[in-house]
């Protein structure tokens, strides 16, 4: 029996949300992958929908608007006063995608140099990385390369979905914005990231963006389950044998000099 309340009606995804721009999109298909749709219809999504939670990390320079972006989506609030995130915070968001419950764990990390060290210890195991910059601050866009590098030290690039997100769109004129968009789209293509531009103040594109993150993460998770199942049927019970490799040894963290 589930102890969780039902998913909010405004977190139900029935159609694949479209990218912000086709020039820098993770994919431009109009619909969810047909194998994923079939698996959902047949309730054969394996661990997805039961206990799978997708970890999403949000990184970027200090004060670019990471916390405000998350708060606009999760709490529908906006605070004009800057309060630096110390280390990390996280929010859980529950969705229903193609009839299957799916949760995102959104990790809001600190951009300030002195907290970066603590924050980076939470980067590991991300299924999606959201790199945030301020569309009014070219330096914050330049720094996204470094954020990407830091986030990828802890993750497997082949299985992470990347998003490059420009915030504070409300503060820029159309002319200023289109200038930075060109560079951002180019950079997103280079990074193999999907580009979005949003405003936490007005709410522009915030919901659309997180729905896209949830949907693409969901799709990737179900596809991974289908691959993994191989000869095994998805939905079957996975038995762990005593001679299985030691997951604890495998996942032991690399020693680092961070925060020493
Ligand atoms: N006009 C406008 N201001 C914004 C927007 N998003 C954030 N801000 C402002 O920018 C400042 C910093 O926002 P935060 O969300 O706290 O920044 P952060 O990236 O979380 O910063 P750290 O936690 O230090 O890494 C605050 O004063 C916000 O009110 C936006 O979309 N539009
Ligand atoms: Mg913050």
Tens digit of pLDDT for each residue in 29-72?
999 999 999 999 998 898 887 777 899 999 999 999 999 999 99
Interatomic CA distance for residues 91 and 106, integer angstroms: 5
List helix spans (H) across the chain: 34-41, 66-75, 113-120, 138-142, 144-153, 174-191, 206-229, 247-250
Interatomic CA distance for residues 23 and 132, integer angstroms: 18
Q: What residue owns the CA closest to ligand 1's atom 2?
A: 168
Atom of ligand 1 nearest to the CA of 171: 1
Q: CATH says 9-230 is which class? A: alpha beta
Structural tokens at position 226? 């289908």
- Please give the residue that has the higher pLDDT: either 127 or 48: 127
Does residue 68 have its Cβ closer than 6 Å to ligand 1?
yes
Q: What residue owns the CA closest to ligand 1's atom 12?
A: 63
Does residue 140 have its Cβ closer than 6 Å to ligand 1?
no
> What integer is the mean pLDDT of 71-86?
97
Does residue 65 have its Cβ closer than 6 Å to ligand 1?
yes
Does residue 82 have its Cβ closer than 6 Å to ligand 1?
yes
Interatomic CA distance for residues 44 and 234, integer angstroms: 5
- The confidence score (pLDDT) of residue 251 equals 35
How far from 178 is each of 139, 164, 166, CA to CA, in Å?
A: 16, 16, 12
């Amino acid at each position: 029996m589930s102890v969780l309340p039902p998913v909010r009606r405004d977190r139900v995804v029935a159609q694949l949300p479209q990218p912000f721009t086709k020039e820098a999109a993770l994919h431009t298909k109009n619909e969810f992958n047909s194998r994923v749709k079939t698996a959902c219809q047949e309730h054969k999504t394996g661990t997805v929908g039961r206990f799978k939670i997708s970890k999403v990390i949000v990184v970027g320079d200090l004060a670019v608007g990471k916390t405000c972006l998350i708060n606009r989506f999760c709490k529908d609030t906006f605070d004009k006063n800057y309060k630096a995130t110390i280390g990390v915070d996280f929010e859980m968001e529950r969705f229903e995608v193609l009839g299957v419950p799916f949760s995102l764990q959104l990790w809001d990390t600190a951009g300030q140099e002195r907290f970066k060290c603590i924050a980076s210890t939470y980067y590991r195991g991300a299924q999606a990385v959201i790199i945030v910059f301020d569309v009014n601050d070219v330096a914050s866009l330049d720094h996204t390369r470094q954020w990407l590098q830091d986030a990828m030290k802890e993750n497997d690039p082949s299985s992470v979905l990347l998003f490059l997100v420009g915030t504070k769109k409300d503060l820029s004129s159309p002319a200023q914005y289109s200038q930075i968009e060109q560079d951002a789209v180019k950079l997103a293509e280079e990074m193999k990231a999907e580009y979005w531009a949003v405003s936490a103040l007005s709410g522009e594109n915030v919901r659309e963006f997180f729905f896209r993150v949830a949907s693409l993460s969901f799709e990737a998770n179900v596809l991974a389950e289908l691959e993994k199942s191989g000869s095994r049927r998805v939905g079957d019970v996975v038995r762990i044998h005593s001679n299985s490799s030691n997951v604890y040894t495998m996942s032991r963290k690399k020693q680092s000099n961070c925060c020493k």
